[in-house]
Chain A
Amino acid sequence: MIKEPKISENQREIWREPLNFGRFAVPKGEIHIFPERCKECNYCTNYCPNQVLERSPEVNVYGYHPVRVREDKKDSCVACGMCQSICPDFAIFVKEVKIQ
């Protein structure tokens, strides 16, 4: 059941690979967003370590552009939970997806 970890382009280069590296799978997260609560403060888009989030061109009922997951980075979320813990508006949360 040992899987090779996938390293996406935006992740930092591993310059010395640990011996047991292959035994650890990179966690995967699923981002849930409440667009009607987002106030466009740009914290999550700027502080996400993998730049998974971006502004959407649509507007919500208060006239803000809510965040959305970037199409090309759908699988890059590693469930670190940074966006959830720094969202002042309780508008985003992350669930870790179980990897089989």
Chain B
Amino acid sequence: MTEVEYHPKHDLIREERFPHVWCPGCGLGIELQCYLNALEKSGIPQNNHVLVSGIGCTARIPGYANLDTYHTTHGRGLPFATGMKIANPDLKVTVISGDGDLFNIGGNHFIHAARRNMDLLVICSNNFNYGMTGGQHGSTTPPTSKSASTPYGNIEPTFNLPYIASALGASYVARWTVMHPRQLTKSIRTAMDVKGFAFIEVLSPCPPNFGKFNGFKDGFEEMEFYRKSSVVQNDAKLEDISIDPFHGKDIVLGDFVNRKRASYITLEHELIDRIRGGGQ
């Protein structure tokens, strides 16, 4: 028993940095593992995968993946990734960031990346608040739920992220929780082959902030609440699936959209070929 044991993901994670910074009960480690599982199955070489993030708890995921990873400024993961994809279309660029980074600070970048149908895979971890700064409410906080800045309950309506992505024309839209690891892995694997903008929303518990304010004892209790409120419904009407579990509404999960739409890189290359062909 003297031989050294390695985790099966030893080659894909930076093991010297473990244990990681995330709190006990946080789902981000599961999200990282699902991404790495999908990466292994994708058949694309490890050197061609790039992971980009903004700022936040989720944005620390690239720090633990043994790939070419970039930790950019707040909300600017998508423009950074867009530039990288245009400069080198052979790369498989994934943006992994939180709801605060992608939809509050970087909301406009998201809108335009989805509108262009940029060839990116966006994995948005949604924990319903700003976790890193102490649990303030944001655009994804469900109605009447409590947070550090809404102690009497949130009065704002919430963003419905799959509906936004689908309305803007994303090629692939899905939503899972971290307690559906196999479905999430399959979804990320499918999205890696999609030409165009792929968006996956991942619901993850935030035990010391959102969980604590809303009466969950620990991460497991919060996770179990989300898991029990979830329903898988792939053909759901996207306008009806906003998240409101505290009023008995089911959290609808599934692979909602998978459509073919000309992606930015395809159109760009067609244009280049046409101009070059016509000029000679």
Contact = CB atoms under 8 A, between A and B. Distances in A.
B181 A41 contact: no
Contacts of A4: none
Contact of A87 (B15, B29, B37, B179): B29
Interface stretch (A10-18, A30-38, A51-59): A30-38
A34 B178 CA distance: 22
Interface-central residue, A34, A39, A40, by most chain B CB under 10 Å: A39
Contacts of B220: 41-43, 46
A93 B8 contact: yes
B181 to A, nearest CB: 4
B13 A90 contact: yes
B9 A41 contact: no
B22 A88 contact: yes
B219 A41 contact: yes
B5 interface: yes
Interface residues of B, number: 31
A89 B179 contact: no
B41 interface: no
Nearest to B26: A88
Contacts of B179: 47, 86
A3 B213 CA distance: 54
B19 A39 contact: yes
A97 B262 CA distance: 48
A47 B227 CA distance: 11
Contacts of B24: 39-41, 64
Contacts of B13: 90
B218 interface: yes
A42 B218 contact: yes
Interface residues of A, number: 22
Contacts of A24: none
B7 interface: yes
Contacts of A64: 24
A37 B74 CA distance: 29
Most buried by B among A40, A42, A64: A42
Nearest to B25: A41
B30 interface: yes
A8 interface: no
A21 interface: no
B157 to A, nearest CB: 31
A37 B19 contact: yes
A1 B185 CA distance: 36
Given A39-B19, A42-B220, A90 B9 contact: yes
A41 B37 CA distance: 22
A85 B33 CA distance: 7
B27 interface: yes
Contacts of A85: 30, 33-34, 37, 181-182, 185
B260 interface: no
Contacts of A91: 19
Contacts of B26: 41, 88
A62 B21 CA distance: 12
A62 B19 contact: yes
29 contacts: A34-B5, A34-B7, A39-B19, A40-B24, A41-B26, A42-B218, A42-B219, A42-B220, A43-B25, A43-B219, A46-B220, A46-B224, A47-B179, A84-B8, A85-B33, A85-B181, A85-B185, A86-B181, A87-B29, A88-B25, A88-B26, A88-B27, A88-B29, A88-B178, A89-B18, A89-B19, A89-B29, A90-B18, A90-B29
In the A-B complex, the 5 residue pairs with the closest CB atoms = A88-B29, A39-B24, A85-B181, A41-B25, A42-B220
